[in-house]
C-alpha cells in the first residue's frame, strides 16, 4: 500500500465517544465536575472508583439517559446536546447492561431477546428470531430459548440481558456493574461473555468492581472520585504505579 495515501493510525484512532467538559448536576448537587474522555473504536475502558463518585451518572450521560448540565458528549460524531440530533437513532447503536437485568418475566428468554428489534422494526420476526438464536448461543444459553426468566440463575439472566442488548446490533456497549448483583460463583460466566465481546472488537465502557477483570481486559482504566477523573492510564500503570494518593487509597482498600 502506498504510504502517501494512508493517514497515520487513522483506523485505530477513530473516536466513538468523546466527552468534553462533561458536567451533571442534580439540583444543587454537582455530580460530574467536568470530564474529558475519549473512547476509540474497539477500545475497552474500565471505570473504577468509590461508590457515589459519579460512575453510573457518567455512563448514563453517554446515551443521554440523564440530561447533560454542561459540556457535551459526542457519539459517532453526533453531539448529544444538539437538539436537532435524533437521540433514538444514536441510542440504537449503544447497548446498555445494568446491575439488575430487568427481563420481562412473562416472556420467554428468546422473546426477551427478540423484543426490541421487532418493536423498533429494525428486523422482521423471523430475522429477529434467527438473530436471537445466534446471540443466545454466543452467550452460552442455546438450550434456554424457551425458559422463563424465573427459571434461570442470576448469571444466566444477566447473559440474556447482554444478548438482548446485542440484538440491536450496537457498536458500543456500556456495562454498569453487570456482575455486582450476582452470587460469586456466577461472576465468571458473565465476565467471560464480556471478555469474548472485547476480543471481538466491541467498543466497551465497563463500570466494574472486578479489579482483576479491569486489569486483564481493559485497554485503559479510568479512576473517578467525587465527580472528577483523578487518573487514567493503562491497567499496568494504573494498578501497578498509581500516581495520586486518592487512587492509591482506593486500590489499597479494594485489592
Q: Where on the chain is the footprint of ligand ADP (CB under 6 A)? A: 26, 29, 31, 49, 51-57
Q: Which is nearer to ligand ADP, 31 or 194 (CB)?
A: 31
Q: Nearer to Mg ion by C-beta: 37 or 141?
A: 37
- Least separation in angstroms between residue 165's CB and Mg ion is 18
44-48/203-207 β-pairing: parallel
Q: Which does 54 bind (CB under 5 to 8 A by kind): Mg ion, ligand ADP, none?
A: ligand ADP
The secondary structure element, H or E, covering residue 25 is strand 15-26
Shortest Cβ distance from residue 46 to ligand ADP (Å)?
Answer: 13
Choose from Mg ion, ligand ADP, none: what does 92 bind? Cβ within 5-8 Å by kind: none
Q: What does the alpha-carbon distance between residue 248 and residue 255 come to, in Å, rounded to a whole number? A: 10
Between helix 125-138 and helix 154-166 the angle, nearest 10°, is 130
Segment contacting Mg ion by CB under 5 A, of 19-27, 53-61, 145-153, 230-238: 53-61
CA nearest to 253, candidates 229, 232, 225: 225
Query: Among 56, 63, 92, 208, which residue sits at the site for Mg ion (rule: CB under 5 A)?
Result: 56
CB of 52 to ligand ADP, least distance (A): 4
Q: Maximum CA pair distance of the chain?
A: 59
- The closest alpha carbon to 137, from 165, 100, 110, belongs to 110
Nearer to ligand ADP, 209 or 215 (CB): 209
| Residue 60: CB minimum distance to ligand ADP, A | 8
Q: Which is nearer to Mg ion, 56 or 112 (CB)?
A: 56
Please tell me whether residue 208 binds Mg ion under the rule CB under 5 A.
no
Min separation Cβ 50 and Mg ion, Å: 10
Minimum CB separation of residue 241 from Mg ion in Å reads: 26
At 242, list the grid cell.
498509581
Nearer to ligand ADP, 47 or 167 (CB): 47
Q: At what angle do helices 154-166 and 109-119 cross, to 10 degrees?
A: 20
Q: Provide the Cα torsion 191, 197, 200, 202; round to 10°.
A: -130
Nearer to ligand ADP (CB atom), residue 134 or residue 209? 209
Long-range contacts, stretch 66-70, CB < 8 angstroms, 24+ apart? 66/24, 67/24, 68/22, 68/23, 68/24, 69/23, 69/24, 69/25, 69/30, 69/32, 70/21, 70/22, 70/23, 70/24, 70/34
- When asked if residue 92 is in the footprint of Mg ion (CB under 5 A), the reply is no
- Binding positions for Mg ion, rule: CB under 5 A: 55-56
Amino acid at each position: 500500500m502506498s504510504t502517501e495515501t494512508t493517514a497515520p493510525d487513522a483506523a485505530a484512532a477513530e473516536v466513538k465517544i468523546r466527552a468534553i467538559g462533561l458536567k451533571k448536576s442534580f439540583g444543587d448537587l454537582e455530580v460530574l465536575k467536568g470530564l474529558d474522555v475519549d473512547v476509540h473504536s474497539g477500545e475497552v475502558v474500565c471505570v473504577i472508583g468509590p461508590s457515589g463518585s459519579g460512575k453510573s451518572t457518567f455512563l448514563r450521560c453517554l446515551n443521554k439517559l440523564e440530561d447533560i448540565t454542561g459540556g457535551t458528549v459526542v457519539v459517532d460524531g453526533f453531539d448529544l446536546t444538539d437538539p436537532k440530533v435524533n437521540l433514538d437513532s444514536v441510542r440504537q447503536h449503544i447497548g446498555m447492561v445494568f446491575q439488575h437485568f430487568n427481563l420481562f418475566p412473562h416472556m420467554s428468554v428468546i422473546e426477551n431477546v427478540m423484543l426490541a428489534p421487532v418493536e423498533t422494526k429494525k428486523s422482521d420476526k423471523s430475522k429477529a428470531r434467527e438473530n436471537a438464536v445466534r446471540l443466545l448461543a454466543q452467550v452460552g444459553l442455546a438450550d434456554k430459548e424457551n425458559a422463563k426468566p424465573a427459571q434461570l440463575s442470576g448469571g444466566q439472566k444477566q447473559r440474556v440481558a447482554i444478548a438482548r442488548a446485542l440484538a440491536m446490533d450496537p457498536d458500543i456497549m456500556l456495562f454498569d456493574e453487570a456482575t455486582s448483583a450476582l452470587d460469586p460463583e456466577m461472576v465468571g460466566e458473565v465476565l467471560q461473555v464480556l471478555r469474548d465481546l472485547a476480543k471481538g472488537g466491541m467498543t466497551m465502557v465497563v463500570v466494574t468492581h472486578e479489579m482483576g477483570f479491569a486489569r486483564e481486559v481493559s485497554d485503559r482504566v479510568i479512576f473517578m472520585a467525587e465527580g472528577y477523573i483523578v487518573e487514567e492510564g493503562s491497567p499496568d500503570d494504573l494498578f501497578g504505579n498509581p500516581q495520586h494518593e486518592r487512587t492509591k487509597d482506593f486500590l489499597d482498600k479494594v485489592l
